[in-house]
Structure 1
């Protein structure tokens, strides 16, 4: 089972989703990419995931171009920008889904509020991707 998770910058939401999905089942090959990859990870996303025991610090922020010729069971966009700008894949894509989340890196306000947005979005990503895993992916493994 091969899953590609796409976001615009590939620094935050797609990285958290990548970490969760990989943690649910090691049989799933998970990659993440960005339509405009930033080339770096959002450190608050890394910290939010580490807080619950998932280490994404070794992930890389890669351009979606790296993955266009591959075959995928799922290509999942997690932000509106990536959904609207998702390129054509030359390899086979069995399922294309959009599961959107707010971007916590755009939160403004106090440090406490910004951190709470990272935790809120992290928890939403876990919940939605676990549901996808249980209902669609796991039965196919």
Structure 2
């Protein structure tokens, strides 16, 4: 495969869900995909994000909260929004072949038992499906 499929995951703050998705896609299929993440209003990376990834052996080096503005002018095959706020603010997204909306509950405010592990599992399942579908085309 000549060019990798460029994917940008966008969330409100780029502190949990979009970072989980970026790391998970890199881990799942870095030969076919180039994964990035950004936030509308970037914040600090939640330490539980890194802990959740490292707990299952996923590389976290270089993960940091980034502004959507860092990607101005860049082209992506897919921009995937991971929360309501980011999907409502599509006008700020870099250009892409397709915008996909995935909504996951914010683990920082979730009432679920082990919310970060739960979020990681949901994102992992969705990414596995995404990779399967997009690499078959």
Fold-level similarity (TM above 0.5):
yes
Structure 1 spans left out of the alignment, 5+ residues: none
Residue of 69, 81, 85 corresponding to 2:89:
85
Which deviations, in whole Å up to 9, do the C-alpha atoms of 1:90-109 show, x marking residues without a partner?
A: 6x410110111000011359
Secondary structure (helix, strand or coil) at the match of 2:73 reads coil
Q: Supply the distance in 1 between the matched residues of 2:93 and 2:54 (Cα, whole angstroms).
A: 32
Which deviations, in whole Å up to 9, do the C-alpha atoms of 1:31-54 show, x marking residues without a partner?
A: 10001111x211111101111101
Report the number of matched residues.
Answer: 132
Q: How far 1:20 sits from its partner (Å)? A: 0.7
Q: 1:36-75 to 2 correspondence within 5 Å?
A: 36-38=41-43, 40-75=44-79
Q: How far 1:57 sits from its partner (Å)? A: 4.7
Correspondence for 2:131? 133
Q: Supply the distance in 2 between the matched residues of 1:132 and 1:119 (Cα, whole angstroms).
A: 20
The answer to whether residue 40 in structure 2 is matched with residue 35 in structure 1 is yes
What TM-score comes out, normalization by structure 1 length?
0.86
| Superposition RMSD in Å | 1.7
